[in-house]
Structure 1
Amino acid sequence: MSNRILVFYGSYRSDRLGIRLAHFVVERFRGRGVDVELIDAKAVGLTMLDRMYKEYPKGGAPPPLEKLASQIREADGFVFITGEYNWGVQPGLKNLTDHFLEEWFWRPAAIASYSAGRFAGARAATAWHGTLSEMGMVVVSSTMAAGPIAQTLSVEGKPIGEGGKALEQAFPRFADDLLWWMEAAKMQRARKAPPY
């Protein structure tokens, strides 16, 4: 049974450090034989939310929105790579997720956070947990945190130093947790239609 994961990353900054964590997560899942794709909010380039995908007439959404809706519907699970901005979530990632609702339903999500400081984005991860739950996803209990990110992952997303070792140790449980819930949700969706 193949699994498809979308990894979402949302920084729009010029010098993006969190992309290191996104690459680390993508490469580690690929190493497990998982079909994984990075969705970079900056590359997708959605405008600030004016209309949700579902508010467009069928087939009338802008092409990037239409493509992303299809990708989300076809995925079995999601990973959200979140930086922490002033104790909160990144606006680019939040804007991307808010364009959709029903497309997210009945699939699990995992959160990997980072920051330039020692709290490693923990406050943003906490904020995302409630948001993703409200959007119809089951959020797995295992998380990963990288901080200070520049001392945890190299530019190429390779683990460095003690923080990198800790990230390497955290990944197997993080991945196992998400993959278990993905398979459970997939089997349940095949067995019985969601209630709404």
Structure 2
Amino acid sequence: MSVQSPRLAFIVGSNRPGRFGHTVASWFLDRATTYGYRDIDVIDLAEADLPTVLGGPDAPRPPAVEALARRIDAADAFVVVTPEYNHSFPAPLKNAIDWFRHEWYAKPVGFVSYGGISGGLRAVEQLRLVFSELHATTVRDGVSFHRAWEQFDEEGAPRDRAGCDGAAKIMLDQLDWWAKALGEARAKRPYAS
């Protein structure tokens, strides 16, 4: 990664009490910092306080939505940390995505997933479809933890540190490339939806 890293919005997609997502998110956040990301905005959906009923097309946005809109709009790239619930992603994450539209346009999204035997991959595949509809680009490689609660040690680090660190680096390198390419393109010509 080059010296100037993109502004990264790091979205923690679960809001369940006692969620394992904090362990996964903390580890990945440390990796992003280690690999050169300096401007990271952690968006924890458990703290976002977004309404669950979307407003009409002409309705003013509630203050919590406006506040989050500014943060998403300011990002050059996104990492979504998601569990898999019932073969899909959690409702708070879909709610957070659906409140916004143009804020996602022409920006890259990477995924860190966790869960049972599938490691959250079914959630990620569905999220790829959702973000495609919002004109975002999802990077190919991600990080996935199968039976996540067995994959981390007592200090919150993956037991397979080398493998997990390598997967994180690959994803972050792809995210960096796409963020810079799409940022340059948006600067030359506004994205048309």
* TM-score in terms of structure 1 length: 0.89
Moved more, 86-95 or 149-158: 149-158
Query: 2:55 corresponds to which letter in structure 1?
Result: R
- TM-aligned CA deviation for residue 2 of structure 1: 4.0
Out of 187, 190, 194, the residue aligned to residue 187 of structure 2 is 190
Equivalent residue number for residue 150 of structure 2: 151
Which structure 1 segments of 5+ residues have no match?
A: none
Q: State the partner residue of 2:96.
A: 96
Tell me, yes or no, if structure 1 residue 31 matches structure 2 residue 34: yes
Q: Say if 2:14 and 2:83, in contact at 8 Å, map to a contact too.
A: yes
Contact 1:114 1:148 in 2 (8 A): yes
Residues 32-181 of structure 1 aligned to structure 2 (within 5 Å): 32-34=35-37, 35-51=39-55, 55-57=58-60, 61-115=61-115, 117-154=116-153, 157-159=156-158, 161-162=159-160, 164-181=161-178
> Which residue is equivalent to 2:16?
13
Q: CA deviation at 1:110?
A: 0.8
CA contact (8 A) 2:101 2:134 kept: yes
Cα RMSD (Å): 1.7
Deviations 1:100-145 (A, max 9, x none): 1111111111111101x23211111111111111111011111110
Contact 2:5 2:176 in 1 (8 A): no
Q: How much has 1:32 moved relative to structure 2?
A: 2.6
Structure 1's 70 and 156: CA in aligned 2 closer, same or farther, altered over 3 A?
farther
1:68 to partner: Cα distance: 0.7
In 2, distance between residues paired with 1:43 and 1:157? 22
| 1:150-185 deviation per Cα after TM superposition (whole angstroms, max 9, x unaligned) | 1223465422x23x4431221110110010000001
Residues 63-95 of structure 1 show CA distances to partners (whole Å, capped at 9, x for unaligned) of 221111011111100111111011111111111
Contact in 1 for aligned 2:119/2:145 (Cα 8 Å): yes
- Asked whether the equivalents of residues 3 and 76 of structure 1 are also in contact (C-alpha less than 8 Å), the reply is yes
Q: Deviations over 1:34-83 (max 9, x none)?
A: 1112111111111213216x6434xxx32221111011111100111111
The 3 A distance-change label for structure 1 pair 179 and 10 is same
Number of residues of Structure 1 aligned to a counterpart in Structure 2: 189
Distance in 2, Cα, partners of 1:109 & 1:27: 18
CA spacing shift, 1:167–1:45, aligned 2, 3 Å: same
